[in-house]
A and B are shown apart, each in its own frame.
Chain A
Amino acid sequence: MSATLTITGLTRWYPATGAPTLDAIDLTVPAGGCVALLGPSGSGKSTALRLVAGLDTPDSGTVLIDGRSLAGIPPELRHTVLVFQSPRLFPHLNVLDNVAFPLLVAGSPRGQARDDAAQFLDLVGLTSLAHRRPATLSGGQEQRVALARALAARPDVLLLDEPFSALDPTVRAEMHTLLVELRAAVEPTILLVTHDQNEAAVLADTTAVLLDGRIAQHDRIDQLYARPVSLAVHGFLGGRNAVAGRVDDGAHHSRLGTLELPADVVVPRGPATLVVRQEAIRLVPTDRRADLLGVVSAVTARGARALVEVTVAGMSLTTESGPGERFEPGDRVGVVLPLDQRHAVPPATSMRSGESGSSRDVLRRATT
């Protein structure tokens, strides 16, 4: 029941807007795989799903399932089931009949459709609620039924549009566990749209970052963090440290001085921005070996950890304190930038309008 989804050059341009909502997207989801399409709201994620499902028509580009083009095929014949953030269980049908719906419309006799549906309901652990009305379910239960109903359609590709973002954090975590189990059990091909990095991290094999209608980067989530291709991706993923300078001889030169770059970071000589994740920076006593020396300027509590701002050579770097570490403004500290966590991005690969902005500006723009 799973197939390979291939999207090439997919473009959608609504007449009223100044720029394409989706601009020549290329994406492949291997059979049985799960790719997350991660982006801020308005980035075109949902449009992409609608185009795959056939609820909207692309201006150009193709959607292929196992190499077969879906152009001109109506949604009901595509075998691509779309699950929305709102579960949209049919209020006039009980839980079991909701799950049996795709089987009935596919032509199964009612009894067989219900028997079949009961198995999918069992898969999401809701057998006991089979005869309840959707209105009596909790949000998490509703979304479980929606998943069971979607799987009952035996889709070639399962399209999930922010399916868990309306749920409480604990329920959301349960749903994540459920989806991991479902993947193991029935191996559907999944294209998951989300704006939640953690969700992408937990659920997807790979993640494609969609910014302003384009796929900025498609890679494993750890690579996206450590090796963003642009300041925009770095900023979107929450990276706070971006230091303008230039690269020469495998090192980055800036007001912070000369910092060696790891061997796998290949940046052409010339202007480049040094990016280091705040989680990667360590603060040490001044008597220990450090890459830089600085003074703590601000401390913001963040649960178990704290965000610590350190001023180095007149610039501000953001770090996260480790468990048990305490810092006060005015503390002098050594700053360690582990070599393998350093990364540089050339200015040309940042976003259309983000070349000169700091990463924080990019972040703000991306989220508003």
Chain B
Amino acid sequence: MRRTTTRRTRARALGTLATAAAVALSACAAPVSNRTGTADDGYASWEDVAADARGQEVSLWMWGGDEKGNAYVDDVLAPAAADQGVTLRRVPVADTADALNRVVSELQAGQDSDGAVDLVWVNGENFRTGQQAGAWECGWTDLLPNSAYLDPTDPLLAEDFGTPVEGCESPWHKAQFALAYDAADVQHPPTSLTELFDWARAHPGRFTYPAPPDFTGSAFLRQSLYEVTGGPEQVPAGPDDDGAAGATSALWAELADLEPSLWRGGDTYPRDAAALDDLFAGDQVDFTMTYGPATLDARVADGTFPETTRVLTLDDGTLGNASFLAIPANAAHQAGAMVVADLALAPEQQLAKADPAVWGQYPVLELDRVPDDLAEQFADLAPSTVVPPFDELSRGADPELSADWVAPLERGWRDNVLTGQR
């Protein structure tokens, strides 16, 4: 069965707009006290947290479009939480913004405790919107015993799409953008996007990418932006900053120039990553791309993708990000939520969900800090000819751009590339 749940926690424009409006409203109508400091009812010790958590039912609101992720939470994480006396209840949402909307509504109504949402799987735009609304409980992540396995200097964990994390969310997964190719057709794989574009021009019709705003297609735009500008540090922080227009016009020029060499001459683009995967599986093109390369093994194993499928290693690295678990400032069961967030960091859990057969999410832990026997198991996890080990895959990983960039880039691609030449 096919599983390409490549999309991740990501706000739709409408949901974000509504949340932003609600935030603005709440600022006028019922000023939300600035809750982004440390918890005033903060716990002094983990023992207190664990004791309070016992018997609590934690509502974890998470994007429900990833079937494997749902199964992992229900079948692996929830039983482990139950062992610590915490009942974990998953609330599937179509959009993480829905969870945020509920929290903001509660805060707006003056309900600053006993909220319905205890824990949210979040990153990027929704995290930032929540920060602006004072929706997140902060300063609790250092209490988690398992946070000892994290690298405090890891840039992917310090900033979430450009927004400082500041102890307001606890890491859960890492993800790495990757391109894959069919080694049977591509004898000399490119080592940079520029080389890839040249290869595409030399092999018309054998490369394409999903049409943004598909999540994967949108990531490809950002990766390409890094390529044409020379790296993340060369891209202005926001789309309206100085130099932003120059950077994007170079990107549009490159992609427009590439278009005639794409599959079907660029007349049409695959509507999403799944469609691109189908083209790759049907040998219509020689490349596909994903923000979840751990799924590639399974697809080779079930015969969907050719056995000669390989992840393309780029010299300059690829986009990487982390996603997190955040506790709303008014969560009814904060102690229970903290226990779950801590459990989510436990090496055993991180190991379990790193298994592509279970979920295939990359760990956020620094393996040097993990007990040796477990670290070995990470290394042994599904030895693959398709996907290199995560430390190799994530070498030189580029942090994501500020979430502000996502929508303007998608709009710009539509206006300058999709409709530009017609």
A and B touch in the complex (CB under 8 A): no
A residues neighboring B (CB under 8 Å): none
